[in-house]
Structure 1
Amino acid sequence: MPQSAAPNSQGDADRLEAATDQAIAICGGDVRAALKAMIVANEFLESEVCELMQAVSHAYARGRFKTYTG
């Protein structure tokens, strides 16, 4: 796991543990099913990011977005 993705405080670690427990519980205690669900969710989010990047790229090419000049 990249350093930036690691929990940076005890609160983050506790939330991650709670979310993990919740995902496993939702899947009836089946860790494999929970992992599969997370993979499916991640793939969905990756496809959403790709679509958004394409939309922004097309809008930028059409001059709808201006670069920040500071």
Structure 2
Amino acid sequence: MPTAFSTDNGIYEQACDQAIAMCDGNLRSTIKALIMANEYLEAELQELRATIACGCMPNTCDAISGDAA
């Protein structure tokens, strides 16, 4: 997986092409969708940080150990 400092722009070009295609070529819709996705991820990150700050851990034990139903 590329990092934020990756010098391989090909994967970003492909991701841009895919995002634009998913919005039927409408660049404004593509930007709006990306902003909305970013806001969602920011909210998830804020919630995770708050959970960790209060000393709680997200319930990921089942997924890690493979004991999920």
Q: Same fold (TM over 0.5)?
A: yes
Matches within 5 A, 1:1-70: 5-6=4-5, 8-10=6-8, 13-59=9-55
Displacement after TM superposition at 1:9 (Å): 2.1
Secondary structure at the counterpart of residue 59 of structure 1: coil
Q: Which runs of 5+ in 2 are unaligned?
A: 57-69
Higher Cα radius of gyration = 1
Structure 2 length as normaliser, TM-score? 0.71
Between structures 1 and 2, the one with greater helix share:
1
Instruction: Tell me how large the CA RMSD over aligned residues is.
Output: 1.7
How many angstroms apart in 2 are the aligned matches of 1:9 and 1:51? 31
Structure 1 length as normaliser, TM-score? 0.70
How many angstroms apart in 1 are the aligned matches of 2:43 and 2:4? 20
Q: Which runs of 5+ in 1 are unaligned?
A: 61-70
Q: How many residue pairs get matched?
A: 54
What do the CA deviations read for 1:12-51 (whole angstroms, capped 9, x no partner)?
Answer: x000000000000000000100000000000000000010
Q: Identity over the aligned pairs, expressed in percent?
A: 41
